[in-house]
Amino acid sequence: QTEIPQTNTHTKRLTHLPPLLPPLLSSLTQTSPPPFFQSSQNKPITAAMPEAPKPTQTSNGLTTIAIAEKNKRTLQFIEDVTSNPDDVQTQVLHEILSRNSAVEYLHHRHRLHGATDRRTFKKLLPVISYEDIHPDITRIANGDTSPILCSSPISEFLTSSGTSAGERKLMPTIAEEMERRSLLYSLLMPVMSQFVPGLEKGKGMYFLFIKSESKTPGGLPARPVLTSYYKSSHFKNRPFDPYTNYTSPNETILCPDSYQSMYSQLLCGLCQRTQVLRVGAVFASGFIRAIRFLEKHWQLLCRDIRSGTLDPTVITDPAVREAVLTKVLHRPDPELADFVESECRKDSWQGIITRLWPNTKYVDVIVTGTMSQYIPTLDFYSNGLPLVCTMYASSECYFGVNLNPLCKPSEVAYTLIPTMAYFEFLPVHRNNNNGKERQELVDLADVKLGHEYELVVTTYAGLYRYRVGDVLRVAGFKNRAPQFNFICRKNVVLSIDSDKTDEVELQGAVKNAVDAHLVAFGGSVAEYTSYADTKTTIPGHYVLYWELSVKGTTAIPPSVYEDCCLTVEESLNSVYRQGRVSDKSIGPLEIKIVEQGTFDKLMDYAISLGASINQYKTPRCVKFEPIVELLNSRVEGSYFSPKCPKWVPGHKQWSNNVKN
């Protein structure tokens, strides 16, 4: 990597750089982006984009020539911005700071006084976490419209899967961000088409869902980023595009009832089985839930396909019924019903995806990070189809794309697109003193191959030097832009779907359960660990292994352990509880009581593998299969939560503003 010389003439150097608010965006995003993430609209620094040719369109969309030209333009954009990432980042920071120069956070609180250069920015602005701006977020949520963080009006809050004090974090966003996300989405299929040609000739079967949302006291929507996108005109009113041609009508995706949504999307996918060239969902866990749903309900689905109708007791949503019956399920199809029935009746469901959807080229799901636990199951159901991770994004910001989408899941590397935000990187395993962090942060163009960093972003929507919490490793470079492996979410212990439970939260939940139910019997938990079980149940569920110390003489009845399960669940964050109650993406929590001495055996095993006896401490989460087997071999009793925990959309203090 050749470093770009750093100078103090940022202002002079910026005068000849083109603005980042874009003519390019309209040319790259003439068609609607794909629907989901993993996240400006910027003219490249090196040269202006050539004008796209304007061939005539067919009745149902773009011609092959138009698609090829659009793809070529898009790929050239990637070449340009990755060839000069430091220049692009300089311009991005200048633009963010100049447009927000008068906001309270920059001007009054940190005395930036209109400066837009990196040196002043890094000197005056601290590296922050969510708790640092929580008072500002609360003011905005309560209706304060003054420019606190951003000069543009905050249009809504995007609810993060991360939590603060047990509630979802609220990430401010502005209307313009939808365009920025659209640009990143528009990069995906041109990249994929280099590896899998002909995708424009068929459809994608993606299982997409909306989630519950709420309104803040000030009237702003608070909802997940994908719910925001699916409900936007960008998605609902998208023009025809062969790359965003899905088997699911919009009405089935926008159905608030998750059962009816899943049922109708599967039905539509089966009816169009020969047209399907790619399948997917946002997370691997969501796609597996769809297959599990099919295992449970294929007989009902076959009955509706055979009759050409929708059972009114199953699908009650009028919009869904009309969309499915007018757009997909036009007539009875006993031949298709017989075929689906014959495949689903077979003893083994290995390869069911390629059996029912024979033209499928790949499975498009996130399988990095904690989602990697689902890879064996996906391989089983798909007969080893490529598992594709296309992009990297979060509620805070959309980050980058995978330029080698057919790579092995373990080799997925995301190229951060320099126009999305201003990126900085905090080396891991360093002194956590804030002053040190400020000095040690490195820029996008200066990261080192093989090193690990925590991602820090400054966004157009009002986050400044914000710690995202993701740990990344530099895997290589695209031109001069780094490519990163996603290593982990910092401090996360357990995760099944979009939930993230850390060690402190888990410890508090265990303590609450013990205090509420075991103390009366003279019981306590001597040691414990946890496991995210995605193999024995679908959806997966949390398992806690408890070794007890009981001083009382009264036997503890099973109902008490069940109550412990529920109390643990009640003590976990709102994202977990939503997964249990509303999304049905997480199964009931399980507590397994293990024999006395089990955790001594666990320590002995760890030491036999080379752990230091002086430094050993009980892991609060286990993943290594031999350790799970050791724990399971010593289980004396197993208990599940008897019901769902309490949950309502929105933060607790907004309960009067709930909207489903």
CA distances from 531 to 183, 200, 621, 624 (A): 38, 42, 6, 10
What integer pLDDT is reported at residue 325 of this predicted model?
93
Which residues 6+ apart lie within 8 Å of 375 measured at CB? 284, 367, 387, 409
Give buried/exposed letters for 477-501 (b at 16+ CB in 10 A, else e).
bbebbbbbbbbbbbebbbbbbbbbb
Weakest mean pLDDT among 63-67, 331-335, 415-419, 561-565: 63-67
CA distances from 100 to 11, 19, 148, 156, 416 (A): 17, 16, 10, 18, 23
Q: Residue 400: enclosing H or E segment and its boundaries? A: strand 398-401
Taking the C-alpha atoms of residue 469 and residue 426, their distance in angstroms, rounded to an integer, is 10
* Cα dihedral 629/633/639/641 (nearest 10): -10
Residue 35 pLDDT > 60 = no
Helix, strand or coil, per DSSP, at residue 496: coil
Q: Take residue 308 and report the two structure tokens written for it.
A: 């050409």
Residue 574 pLDDT > 50 = yes
pLDDT digits (tens, 9 = 90+) for 469-478: 889 999 999 9
| Full DSSP string of 194-224 | TTSTTGGGSEEEEE-----EEE-TTS-EEE-
Confidence of residue 48 (pLDDT cuts 50, 70, 90): very low
Which residues 6+ apart lie within 8 Å of 320 measured at CB? 251, 252, 255, 260, 261, 264
pLDDT digits (tens, 9 = 90+) for 378-405: 999 999 999 999 999 888 999 999 999 9
Confidence of residue 20 (pLDDT cuts 50, 70, 90): very low
Residue type, 192: M
Closest by alpha carbon to 277, among 345, 191, 209, 200? 200
Closest by alpha carbon to 320, among 270, 252, 230, 237? 252
What are the strands, taking DSSP E only, across 114-244?
A: 156-164, 167-173, 203-207, 213-215, 221-223
Confidence of residue 653 (pLDDT cuts 50, 70, 90): low
Looking at residue 231, what DSSP letter applies? T
Residue 251 pLDDT > 60 = yes
What integer pLDDT is reported at residue 611 of this predicted model?
62
Q: What is the mean pLDDT of the chain?
A: 83
Cis check: omega of the bond before 34, within 30 degrees of 0? no
Residue 30 pLDDT > 60 = no
Q: Count CB-CB contacts under 10 A for residue 318.
A: 9
What integer pLDDT is reported at residue 163 of this predicted model?
59
Confidence of residue 372 (pLDDT cuts 50, 70, 90): confident
pLDDT digits (tens, 9 = 90+) for 588-600: 999 999 999 898 8
Confidence of residue 68 (pLDDT cuts 50, 70, 90): confident
